Amino acid sequence: MQKNLTPRYIIIAVILGWAVWSLWPTWQYQNMSEEKKEELRTAGELEQIESRIIRQGLDLKGGMYIVLEADIPTLVGNLAPIKDERLENLIADAEEQSNDPDKDFFTVFEANVKKEGLKLSRYYHQYGASLDDIMLALRDEADDAINRVLEILQNRVDQFGVSEPTIQKQGKHRIVVELAGIQDSERARALLQSTALLEFYLVKNVAVTNEIIAQLDDALKSDISEGTDPIKEDKEPKKEENKTEDQSTTVSELFGESDSQTANADTENTLDDIFSEAPFSGLLTSLPGDIGIEEKNVYAFKKLLAKPEVQSKLNNANGQFLLSQEVETATTNDAVSFYRLYYLEKKPELTGGIVEEAEANLGSLGGGSAGQPVVSLAMNSEGSRTWSRVTGSNVGERIAIVLDQKVHMAPSIREKIPGGRTQIEGFANINEAKDLAIILRAGALPAPVNIIEERIVGPSLGADSIAQGTRAVMVGLLTVLVFMLVYYRLAGTVADFALVWNILLVLAILASLQATLTLPGIAGLILTVGMSIDANVIIFERIREELRKGKTPKAAIDSGYDRAITTIIDANVTTLIASLVLYQFGTGPIKGFATVLFWGILISMFTAVFITRTIFNAYVSRKTLTTLSI
């Protein structure tokens, strides 16, 4: 008999060794001081240990909980190849009305279209001719967009390095993101919201730029000659009637939104002083090789750009004005903050869809960006051909690299670039470059997303949850251990040993699978304590029945296990099926509960049927027993 048990001993020893090996990094990490962690992090060894520990969820480790909502009105507007003020007003009205949670944007938009008698086929001809076909296509595009947003966010977060993030849909157009253990909340927020629309525009030359500025000055002068405030006429049209003839509008009033950037309390110039001769160019500043606009004038400048006559001129000239991404400071007599202003072609030469690889690193020696953060781009075959053609036919011209409608840089094309490679410079730090590379690799969001709810879970709350959860597990475990010991005596000791084994193996499985332990997961662990002892109770009661029939302890043990095995399998398989369903269709915390429950039940069958029987067989094989303590 002893010889026959040797393979069982080997299996148990191997499994025990594997469990200890799997749990050792977690034990080591939990008992490691912050100084030691920092030392290992510097040496590059901490990441290897962290990859083998039991991960903790948001409710245990702390982190960020964010609810994002896709901007469907903006998406619908972007899908129209042709747009005008009438369509934009309808979309804006539908957006405002759909703020009511009981109203759907598409339902309101369709009703407004019918009310206004607007032909949508004029704007969305690619989706069909009838209103029903177009509305159905727009709804499908919105559903597809939120699914793509979900996938793109998943790719971004995975590359961001958050362990076991939870990203899932909530309703039709919302996404819930849980980032456990996140340290830099601002960086994570920017990464999730950034649309990262990368475009390459040719910059129009100085002569063309000066010509369009002169045309815009002439167009806006007519407004002034008619007594119209070119900035405020749309904002407060009725208030003009109450002003006296000699009342003038100061620059502070004109530029004075609540934003401190747009106002200058010391300026006493009037509206006529600024706009009498140069309504548009009066806001601009000459810079070496570029045009600038002071930060305090940006609001007024954007109001001018929104004027219908300005947009009409720009559309006819096939151009657009965009500002630089970063504000600069000129140290003259007084420090003046300004943005660079670029006059670009209306349509981009290339978009971010052609990016095949994006890698953040430091500029190499010998270049203009040596030691500075840069993002190196590699384009696909189509992008490489277009990039080669654009750079080859525009040598000496400038090309603007635009991210989310802001010019990141506008270098001159020195020579034809046939390989489809380029790099973006001008980052504040390497993390900013890394985040852009992540976004470009993962893709641009098809629709903007807005954060509508955000919660920060502090690590102290997680520590309290761990402490209370651990206490609950220990109390439940000790209660069951004492009960089994008192009720089943020596056999209860065997069951207690198997129960401790069960918990040890469940934790080892979680560490090996790099699963995430959440508060519901701890609840699943407590439930496993009770469920795992159930199999032992069934076996022990069967053995008692056999002993009452007058069988020897060895025969009673064999018969008890044989009779109980079917009941144990039936009972546990049904629970396994339930846990699989919970894992498949559940989300977040429910998955954590299902994972622990599944492995807990599976391992409890192994410990109850294999380990306890091995102990009983070893016990009865040593001597002839006439009684059994059970």
Angstrom distances, CA of residue 465 to CA of 33, 62, 450, 468? 21, 10, 31, 5
50-101 confidence digits (pLDDT tens) = 778 887 777 777 778 888 888 888 888 888 877 788 888 888 888 888 877 7
Residues 499-532 pLDDT 10s? 888 889 999 998 888 777 878 888 888 888 888 8
Burial class (CB in 10 A: 0-12, 13-18, 19+), 521: buried
| Distances 568 to 498, 600, 605 between C-alpha atoms, Å | 15, 14, 8
Where do we find the tokens 């095995």?
A: 565
Cα–Cα distance measured from residue 630 to residue 617, given in angstroms and rounded to the nearest whole number: 15
Beta bridge mates, 323: 341
Q: How far apart are CA 538 and CA 516, in angstroms?
A: 32
Q: Of 593, 382, 613, which is closest to residue 506 (Cα–Cα)?
A: 593
| Contact between 565 and 612 (Cβ < 8 Å) | no
pLDDT on residue 249: 37
Contact 441, 376 (CB under 8 A): no
Alpha helices in 98-239 (DSSP H): 105-116, 131-160, 185-193, 206-225
Contacts of 332 (CB under 8 A, 6+ apart): none
Q: How many helices (H) and strands (E) does the chain have?
A: 21, 18
Query: What is the C-alpha separation between 299 and 323, in angstroms, rounded?
Result: 12
CA 369-372-375 angle, 5° bins: 85
Q: How far apart are CA 561 and CA 558, in angstroms?
A: 5
Residue among 592, 599, 540 nearest 575 (CA): 599
Which residue positions in the chain have pLDDT lower than 50? 1-2, 233-272
Q: Which of 472, 470, 474, 492 lies closest to 483 in space, CA to CA?
A: 492
- HEC per residue, 559-626: HHHHHHHHHHHHHHHHHHHHHHHHHHHCCCHHHHHHHHHHHHHHHHHHHHHHHHHHHHHHHHHHCCCC
DSSP class of residue 412 equals B
Task: List domains and CATH numbers for the chain.
Answer: 6-58+459-622 (1.20.1640.10), 63-195+449-457 (3.30.70.3400), 199-237+248-342 (no CATH), 349-444 (3.30.1360.200)
What are 136-186's pLDDT values in tens digits? 988 888 888 887 777 777 766 765 656 556 777 777 788 888 777 776 677
Give the gyration radius of the chain's Cα atoms: 35
| Token pair belonging to 290 | 């570029």
The vertex-581 CA angle with 578 and 583, nearest 5°, equals 110
The beta strand positions in 280-324, using DSSP E, are 284-287, 290-294, 319-323
Note the pLDDT of residue 14: 92
Q: Tell me the whole-structure pTM to 2 decimals.
A: 0.52
